[in-house]
Structure 1
Amino acid sequence: MTQEELIEEIKQLSVIDLSNLVSALEDEFGVSAAAPVAMTTVQGVAGTEEAAAEEEQTEFNVTLKEIGPNKINVIKAVREVTTLGLKEAKELVESAPTAVKEGLGKEDADELKAKLEGAGAVVAVE
């Protein structure tokens, strides 16, 4: 299979399947798909800057850890907060643990977490 053929196959994947593929590749090769962050620090100040960076996290990922007892309610909640159709939302919920939304602000992430937990899911904001 050529590189071009592989790319064409990947283009045919749904968002959920693509997310699962990325996760599987990360696990298989022990890498992260997150973009590397270049940091320049002055010695002696580095520890203080790192602590400040951790406190000032501005983007959060909402991860569905477990479906809980009300699978249908969780699927409905996922559909409400994403642009996914019924089939895609069901696949996403059934593939838990998985990211529901990434790169959200703190308030949006907390609202999403509350909505999914209200539907019976176990959710983490990272």
Structure 2
Amino acid sequence: MSRAYPQFSTQILSMPTPENEPKVESVKLNRIVNDIANLNLIEVAELSALLRKTLNLPDTPMMAVSQSAPVAKEEEEEVAPKVVQTSFSVKLLKFDDSKKVALIKEVKSLMEGMNLVQAKKFVESAPTVVKGDLNKEEAEKLKEALVKVGAICEIE
């Protein structure tokens, strides 16, 4: 039986140059690099197809990275926990006019450094934020206290 062996070049191999000496580049490789650099996009695509055929390389999709990116993004969304709101604001929307005095007194007692005149102006400027940057429990307590004295509030 005869075996077919690949054809080997009879070119003599040269010794690699040491790291501290400048490397002498091959004229042949420089010419190939310059030729490739001067190709347009269509010629690059044709060259790529010809190389795959000549070297028997599998066809790989050009957009493989782009196609896998949305999948990874969807996985990240599933893995990432939902953002839980930790800071709340209590907003005074409106109030019962018959209970206005009680509401002003309550706002004065809840808001540090506010006198009666400031509390009156504050209540009359509704809708307005009473307090912000509260945890859920504090916001619920504040809303409950204001609702008891005739306010209509919401937690944001």
Q: Indicate the TM-score class for this superposition, using the shorter chain for normalisation.
A: 0.5 to 0.7
2:82 to 52, 58, 70: 52
The separation in 1 between residues aligned to 2:118 and 2:79, in whole angstroms, is 43
**Closer, same or farther: CA 72–58 of 1 in aligned 2, 3 Å:** same
Give the structure 1 partner of residue 105 of structure 2: 76
What count of residue pairs does the alignment treat as equivalent?
Answer: 82
How far apart, CA to CA, are the structure 1 residues paired with 2:102 and 2:87? 26
Q: Partners of 1:58 and 1:73 in 2: how far apart?
A: 30
Q: Deviations over 1:39-87 (max 9, x none)?
A: xxx72233764x711xx21110000000213111111111111111111
In structure 2, the gaps of 5 or more residues are 1-71
Q: Percent identity?
A: 37
User: Quick one: structure 1 residues 72 and 47, their matched pair in 2 at CA, closer, same or farther if it must change by over 3 Å?
Assistant: farther
Structure 1 alignment gaps of length 5 or more: 1-41
Structure 2 CA distance for partners of 1:48 and 1:113, relative to 1, 3 Å: farther
SS at match of 1:63: strand
Shift of the 68–48 alpha-carbon distance from structure 1 to 2, 3 Å rule, reads: farther
**1:100 corresponds to 2:130:** yes
- Stretches (4+) displaced over 2 A: 45-49
Matched, 1:65 2:93: yes
TM-score (norm 2): 0.49
CA shift in 2, pair 1:48/1:77, >3 Å? farther
Say whether residues 1:116 and 2:146 are aligned partners. Answer: yes
Q: Which has the higher contact order (CA 8 A, sep 6+)?
A: 1
Give the alignment's Cα RMSD to 1 decimal.
1.8
